[in-house]
Amino acid sequence: MIKAIIFDYGNVIEKINNDIFLRAISSHTQKSMVELRGLVYNSDLPEKYEKGMMSSGEFYQEVVKRCKLSISIPDFIDAYTGVSIPIPATFDLMRKLKKKYKLALISNTSEWDFERIIMPSEVYGLFDAVTISCRVKMMKPANDIYLDALNKLKLSPDECVYIDDVKEYVEGACKNGIKGIQYKSHDGLLKSLRKLKVSI
């Protein structure tokens, strides 16, 4: 019997558009959006930061250096964390599910995103357990990140459902015995939950 629903955050609970960040910093450098995307998102920086291998200050300094930016830390933080748009249908679903199930979060995320996007969210208080990569020093699809969430929930894998938009991360959950759903649309998510006899 399902007792908990575990969510990914980006593009499941809130839509993430990193181009918003790139547009914001592009006015502080001579480099183009294409160049900035390569220097930031196609580099080793996001993984190092989201794994907690570098501090927020170090991340800022490295992006400024590589992209030749002239931007203050406050403006940089506002740009970096101003990339999310809530998905109201998921918010509503979470509130309904919370009445009957435990809810949890597993997210590959950075310290700034956690503090400025996830924690202030109106649905953050619904989580019974939170596992974020920058704190546990590992990222999906590593086995131990899913086990961390299970340990916090005090549930067995077959009692949990995991929802993520990235197929590889859903497969990672399934390898650990958790039932997985790849998020493609809200209607598709509802159908998949009902197939698993989750009461909505």
Residues paired with residue 10 on neighbouring β-strands, in sequence order: 14
For 2-14, the pLDDT digits (tens) are 999 999 999 999 9
What pLDDT was estimated at residue 185? 98
With beta carbons less than 8 A apart as the criterion, state whether 164 and 189 touch.
no
Average pLDDT score over residue span 58-67: 98
8-state DSSP, 198: -
Q: Which residues pair with 104 in a beta bridge?
A: 6, 129
CA–CA separation, 183 vs 47, rounded Å? 22
User: Residues for the chain: how many in total?
Assistant: 200
pLDDT tier, 66 (very low <50, low <70, confident <90, very high otherwise): very high
DSSP conformation class of 30: S
pLDDT of residue 195: 97
Pairing label, strands 84-86, 14-16: antiparallel
Structural domains of the chain sorted by starting position, each given as residue range(s) with its CATH number in brackets: 4-15+86-195 (3.40.50.1000), 18-80 (1.10.150.240)
Strand partners, 86: 14
Which of 86, 89, 118 shows the shortest CA–CA distance to 15?
A: 86
pLDDT value of residue 115: 97
Tell me the pairing of strands 160-164 and 179-182.
Answer: parallel
pLDDT digits (tens, 9 = 90+) for 67-99: 999 999 999 999 999 999 999 999 999 999 999
Beta-strand ranges (E) seen in the chain are 4-7, 14-16, 84-86, 102-107, 129-132, 160-164, 179-182
pLDDT digits (tens, 9 = 90+) for 137-196: 999 999 999 999 999 999 999 999 999 999 999 999 999 999 999 999 999 999 999 999
- Given the structure tokens 């506002």, which residue do they identify? 78
Alpha-carbon distance of 8 to 30, in angstroms, equals 35
Q: Given this model, what pLDDT does residue 162 score?
A: 98
What local confidence, expressed as pLDDT, does residue 38 receive? 97
